[in-house]
């Protein structure tokens, strides 16, 4: 087993985002770019994670530790280039590593497999393994220079390249794997005699070759190594990742009727034979079991749906919404922090928050759990087989017993015993002939006014 240190560079300023938030904390599919990178490299078997941040970037450091509790944060005091940034994490090398992976926190879509491919090149004997790609437009990227045998000899930054070198279409994605025993020595020999007066990480290629080490190349699809510098590229990264998530969901056996209209979170879990109709949005933390149906225009986050549950169209499941088997949540229904029992139905225009609904209970149209008094939240408990008529307000804390029936239009402020009927509304009053007499009186009044 080769020991691996991963160094994530995140000290860039990200000015082109025009944001008060640091670039690498912007999200793709519901998670920061930094967290995506840390997760992918952990999956590729990195034993230690070092994150290099700019001075005063406690927020970036905090996100790194949130994504990976054992990450170590290093501060690059001055932004003097990518090689200089790696050296800011010098102390992380102390334990000795076979592989050093260098990655960029603003390049969030690189798959764990690709990191493993780079490490495999080191295991096969290369001193450096560079990740390359062929962009549609190579402007701005470092060019991969090769010899007659196709071996990588150097990487030339755009600003330093000759007219001839600028014709090269293969570019440096920026990420690379390096022989852990040699990295610090090679990096200490990188100079800054170049157009940007920066210490360039890609210069290790020439230095390693001068030491007799070979430099290998791994080529990735352009979409995978997309770097995010502005909000247009952020949207491109989002689109790329959404397509990947849609494809994975379908490969796992979910039917997406119109995949291009369904938006996933990085962690959405869909079972087999799930049907997702058009225009459904998944926020973070959703788990959907087999044979669930999600009708069009539903929005879910932090929700769990057991087998054969059905929601929507136009359902909104908020964090803590847990639907048991065959539960049914219909149109314009909002559920928050609530357990919906097996086979229970909440079909129309309802808000259920901070509640437990027993198996097979039926919640009528327009029922509201009044869970908040402006200061605190309270729970509503509805028993098995209970029936709550339409347009009831259940003023929490309140408990409706098993098999109880609540008449529609009730404002329920006290507990209802099991199997009881509760009606809490004004009594109906009926006066025979009253309407006809009223109309006759008013018609007479109106015609007397007209003749004035
Ligand atoms: C880099 C590569 C270039 C490659 C391109 C791919 C270098 C010198 N060039 O160029 O060959 O084609 O990526 O997108 O590496 N960073 C620091 N501290 C620094 C400088 C950079 O942490 O002092 C971080 C940035 O936050 C960023 C990454 O390193 O995550 C890359 O830096 P950037 O300045 O964007 O490099 P490019 O000019 O894009
Ligand atoms: Ca860049």
What's the CATH number where 95 sits?
Answer: 3.90.550.10
User: Are both 75 and 186 inside the same structural domain?
Assistant: yes
Does 354 reside within a domain?
yes
Pocket lining: 172 vs ligand 1, CB cutoff 6 Å = yes
SS3 state at 450? helix
451: number of Cβ within 10 Å? 5
Residue of 36, 158, 295, 348 marked active site: 348
What's the gap in Å between 85 CA and the centre of ligand 1? 10
Residues 161 and 284 in one domain: no
Structural domain boundaries enclosing 73: 4-225
Residues 218, 259: one domain?
A: no
Q: What is residue 13's predicted lDDT score, i.e. its pLDDT?
A: 82
Residues, CB within 5 angstroms of ligand 2 (ion)? 227
Could you identify the atom of ligand 1 that is nearest to the CA of residue 10?
A: 26
Asked if residue 32 lies in contact with residue 76, where contact means CB atoms within 8 angstroms, the answer is no
431 is a domain residue: no
Q: Is 12 touching ligand 1 by the criterion CB < 6 Å? A: yes
Distance CA 343, CA 94 (A): 59
Dist. CA 229 → ligand 2 center (Å): 6
Residues 263 and 376 in one domain: yes
* pLDDT tens, the chain, 452 aa long: 999 999 999 998 899 999 999 999 999 999 999 999 999 999 999 999 999 999 999 999 999 999 999 999 999 999 999 999 999 999 999 999 999 999 999 999 999 999 999 999 999 999 999 999 999 999 999 999 999 999 999 999 999 999 999 999 999 999 999 999 999 999 999 999 999 999 999 999 999 999 999 999 999 999 999 999 999 999 999 999 999 999 999 999 999 999 999 999 999 999 999 999 999 999 999 999 999 999 999 999 999 999 999 999 999 999 999 999 999 999 999 999 999 999 999 999 999 999 999 999 999 999 999 999 999 999 999 999 999 999 999 999 999 999 999 999 999 999 999 999 999 999 999 999 999 999 999 999 999 998 77
Output the domain CATH number for residue 271.
Answer: 2.160.10.10
Question: Measured in angstroms, how far is the CA atom of residue 117 from the centroid of ligand 2?
Answer: 22
Q: Is residue 437 part of a domain?
A: no
Q: Is 348 a catalytic residue?
A: yes
- Do 13 and 158 have their domain in common? yes
What is the rounded distance in angstroms from the CA atom of residue 11 to the CA atom of residue 186? Answer: 21
Do residues 390 and 298 share a domain? yes
Ligand in nearest proximity to the CA of 139: 1
| Cis before 77? omega within 30 | no
Q: Which ligand 1 atom sits nearest the alpha carbon of residue 9? A: 22
- Summarised one tens digit per residue, pLDDT across range 406-450 is 999 999 999 999 999 999 999 999 999 999 999 999 999 999 998
- List, for residues 52-61, the tens digit of each pLDDT value: 999 999 999 9
What is the CA(133)–ligand 2 centre distance, in A? 14
Q: Is the CB of 37 under 6 A from ligand 1?
A: no
- As to burial, measured by CB atoms within 10 angstroms (0-12 exposed, 13-18 middle, 19+ buried), residue 350 is buried
Same domain membership, residue 175 and residue 260: no
Query: By three-state DSSP, how is residue 315 classified?
Result: strand
What count of other Cβ atoms lies within 10 Å of the Cβ of residue 310? 20
Q: In this structure, is residue 427 part of a structural domain?
A: no
Joined tokens for residue 241: 């990742």
Are 26 and 118 within one domain?
yes
- Using a 6 Å cutoff on CB, does residue 145 contact ligand 1? no
Taking the C-alpha atoms of residue 130 and residue 44, their distance in angstroms, rounded to an integer, is 16
Q: Which ligand is nearest to the CA of 106?
A: 1
| 117 Cβ closer than 6 Å to some ligand 1 atom | no
Instruction: Specify the number of domains making up the chain.
Output: 2
For residue 225 and ligand 1, the question of a CB distance below 6 A is answered with no
Q: Residue 52: CB within 6 Å of ligand 1?
A: yes
Distance (angstroms) between ligand 2 centre and the Cα of 227 equals 6
| Residue 133 domain-assigned (yes or no) | yes
Please check whether residue 111 lies inside any domain of the structure: yes
d(CA 393, CA 357): 15
Residue 441 within a domain? no
Burial of 184 per CB tally in 10 Å (0-12, 13-18, 19+): middle
Does one domain contain both 285 and 215?
Answer: no
CA nearest ligand 1 atom 22, residue:
11
The reply to whether 216 and 261 lie within a common domain is no
Q: Is 76 in the pocket of ligand 1 (CB under 6 A)?
A: yes
Whether residues 19 and 77 fall in one domain? yes
- The pTM for the full model equals 0.93
Distance (angstroms) between ligand 1 centre and the Cα of 174 equals 7
In this structure, the answer to whether residues 72 and 211 fall within a common structural domain is yes
Question: Does residue 238 form part of some domain?
Answer: no
């Amino acid at each position: 087993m080769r020991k691996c240190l991963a160094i994530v560079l995140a000290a860039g300023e990200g000015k082109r985002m025009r944001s008060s938030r640091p670039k690498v904390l912007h999200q793709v599919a519901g998670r920061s770019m930094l967290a995506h990178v840390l997760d992918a490299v952990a999956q590729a078997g990195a034993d230690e994670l070092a994150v290099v941040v700019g001075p005063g970037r406690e927020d970036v450091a905090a996100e790194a530790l949130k994504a990976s509790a054992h990450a170590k944060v290093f501060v690059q005091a001055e932004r003097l280039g990518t090689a200089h940034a790696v050296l800011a994490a010098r102390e992380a090398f102390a334990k000795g590593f076979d592989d050093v992976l260098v990655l960029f926190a603003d390049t969030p879509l690189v798959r764990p497999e690709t990191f493993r491919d780079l490490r495999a090149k080191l295991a096969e004997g290369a001193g450096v393994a560079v990740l390359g790609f062929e962009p549609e437009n190579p402007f701005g990227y470092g060019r991969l220079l090769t010899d007659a045998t196709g071996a990588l000899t150097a990487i030339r930054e755009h600003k330093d390249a000759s007219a001839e070198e600028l014709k090269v279409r293969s570019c440096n994605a920026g990420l690379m794997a390096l022989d852990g025993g040699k990295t610090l020595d090679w990096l200490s020999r990188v100079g800054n005699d170049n157009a940007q007066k920066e210490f360039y990480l890609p210069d290790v290629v020439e230095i390693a070759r001068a030491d007799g080490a070979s430099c290998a190349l791994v080529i990735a699809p352009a979409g995978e190594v997309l770097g995010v510098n502005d909000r247009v590229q952020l949207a491109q990264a989002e689109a790329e990742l959404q397509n990947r998530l849609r494809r994975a969901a379908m490969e796992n056996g979910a039917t997406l009727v119109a995949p291009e209209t369904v938006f996933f979170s990085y962690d959405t879990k869909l079972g087999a034979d799930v049907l997702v109709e058009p225009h459904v949005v998944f926020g973070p933390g959703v788990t959907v079991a087999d044979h669930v149906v999600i009708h069009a225009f539903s929005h879910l986050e932090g929700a769990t749906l057991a087998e054969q549950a059905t929601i929507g169209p136009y359902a909104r499941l908020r964090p803590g919404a847990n639907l048991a088997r065959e539960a049914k949540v219909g149109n314009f229904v909002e559920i928050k922090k609530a357990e919906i029992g097996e086979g229970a139905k909440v079909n129309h225009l309802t808000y259920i928050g901070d509640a437990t609904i027993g198996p097979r209970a039926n919640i009528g149209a327009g029922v509201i759990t009044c869970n908040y008094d402006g200061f605190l939240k309270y729970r509503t408990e509805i028993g098995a087989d209970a029936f709550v008529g339409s347009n009831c307000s259940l003023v929490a804390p309140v408990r409706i017993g098993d098999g109880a029936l609540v008449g529609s239009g009730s404002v329920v402020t006290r507990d209802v015993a099991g199997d009881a009927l509760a009606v809490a509304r004004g009594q109906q009053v009926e006066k025979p002939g009253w309407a006809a007499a009223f109309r006759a009186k008013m018609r007479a009044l109106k015609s007397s006014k007209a003749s004035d």
